[in-house]
Structure 1
Amino acid sequence: MATPVYIRIKQSIYVQPSSMIKLGDIARVTGPKRQVPVLEQMILHEVTDEDRNIVVIDGFMVIEQVLTKYPQLEIELIGPTQCVVHVEEHKREPSLILISLIWLLLFIGAAMAIMNFHYDVSMGAVQQKLHFMLTGKESDHPLWIQIPYSIGLGIGMILFFNHWFQKRFNEEPSPMEVEIFNYQEDMDHYVAIKENKVEKTDVDS
């Protein structure tokens, strides 16, 4: 009885245009030591202009190509059944001017959203009433409440997003990272179902 070869396909990978996609690129292979290096170098697909920016490598196609070359092997596919290959050119360094403009736009937008929220809930009137309840005096600008509140609001947002520029406070992902991860997973799942263009006859070498 042949020793099985286990193949665990990755969820998604990124390659450059005109790349030769090998089994070792899209999957983790384990099994007999003499077979694993050969299988990892096995070419599954060559990226062409027709592929555009997404290629889907199907697990069934992987098994079929492996068995075509090595019919004596016993293949066990575990994990995801498809790998979404994102074709991307080498990324250029981001422009400092563009980053500054985006940062300024987001800063103004966030500031406007916070100010509009405070206006809608009459935060100023609430703070004035709180000042009157605690001191018995009326004040249009109770700074001893407003200043700590503003500082606390900023600190709370930093802690919520778990980042200070490049510094992460702990190992927990931020809500933004979770949303991006979920979006990427949903997109990969959709693409794997709707954009599977790779056929078993792609590469036969």
Structure 2
Amino acid sequence: MAKTVYIRLRHRIQTAPETSLVLADLAQVIDSEEDSSLKKLDVYKVSASDRNMVVVDVMHVIKVIKRTEPDAEIQSIGPTQTVVEIVYEKKKRKLIYLILVWMLLFVGAAMAIINFHEDVSMQAVHQKLYFMLTGDRIEKPLLLQIPYSIGLGLGMILFFNHVFKKRINEEPSPLEVEMFKYQMDLDQYVAMNENKESVKKLHDH
């Protein structure tokens, strides 16, 4: 009786250049044999021509398995492609670049907040609120402005759900959700455009 092999390709993996990817790297495998050699089967060799990303299609994986186990019945579950990101050794960034980027982001964020408050006349709003609460008219209602400034910073920390590298709770922040959506769209684009198994050009003869 032919054995059944269940494979589920991983959605995305990261690997170093010039790496030989085995089946266990690319997919979860369930085989009738406890110590199956299929998991150690070479499926794809990362080369310099692959540059940053390459897509491994499930049809290629099945072909490789069939060469070793021609009588096996292969059941594919889940994604039909694995996006392989090739991670090269990162160069150490100089401290001056980090400081310049930090200053650029800090000044840009500060200008955005200042311009927003100017557009909505926040100082005038605080003055009116202070008058309604105390009955006194003053130019700089620090009693409202200082707590408001502190609350603005705390609100941003709660919104992004991070204090430096520490997460406040397990709930993802809106920024993380947007980055996840972007990554999913990017992977789908790469899978559709870089997959040599599924992209085929027909030429008129």
TM score, norm. by length of structure 2? 0.90
- C-alpha separation between the residues in 1 aligned to 2:9 and 2:45? 18
Deviations 1:20-45 (A, max 9, x none): 12111111111223563x11111112
Structure 1 stretches of at least 4 aligned residues deviating more than 4 Å after TM superposition:
none
- C-alpha separation between the residues in 1 aligned to 2:63 and 2:35? 17
What's the CA shift for 1:152? 0.3
Contact 2:56 2:84 in 1 (8 A): yes
- C-alpha separation between the residues in 2 aligned to 1:40 and 1:177? 33
Contact 2:161 2:167 in 1 (8 A): yes
Alignment partner, residue 203 of structure 1: none
Of 189-198 and 161-170, deviating more is: 189-198
Q: Any residues of structure 2 matched to 1:35-114 within 5 Å, and which?
A: 36=36, 38-114=37-113
Contact 1:55 1:198 in 2 (8 A): no
Higher RCO, 1 vs 2 (CA within 8 Å, ≥6 residues apart): 1
Contact 1:12 1:85 in 2 (8 A): yes
**Structure 1 stretches lacking a partner, 5+ long:** 200-205
Q: Any residues of structure 2 matched to 1:8-19 within 5 Å, and which?
A: 8-19=8-19
Alignment partner, residue 118 of structure 1: 117
- C-alpha separation between the residues in 1 aligned to 2:102 and 2:49? 36
- C-alpha separation between the residues in 2 aligned to 1:20 and 1:104? 42
**Structure 2 stretches lacking a partner, 5+ long:** 199-205
Alignment partner, residue 151 of structure 1: 150
Alignment partner, residue 22 of structure 2: 22
TM score, norm. by length of structure 1? 0.90
Q: Percent identity?
A: 53
User: Amino acid of the residue matched to residue 173 of structure 1?
Assistant: P
Contact 1:57 1:84 in 2 (8 A): yes
For the residue of structure 2 that corresponds to 1:154, the secondary structure is helix
User: What is the alpha-carbon root mean square deviation over aligned residues?
Assistant: 1.7
Aligned length: 198
Deviations 1:79-124 (A, max 9, x none): 1110011112123444433323222211111111000000000101
- C-alpha separation between the residues in 2 aligned to 1:16 and 1:92? 15
What's the CA shift for 1:165? 0.7
Contact 2:3 2:71 in 1 (8 A): no
- C-alpha separation between the residues in 1 aligned to 2:41 and 2:161? 42
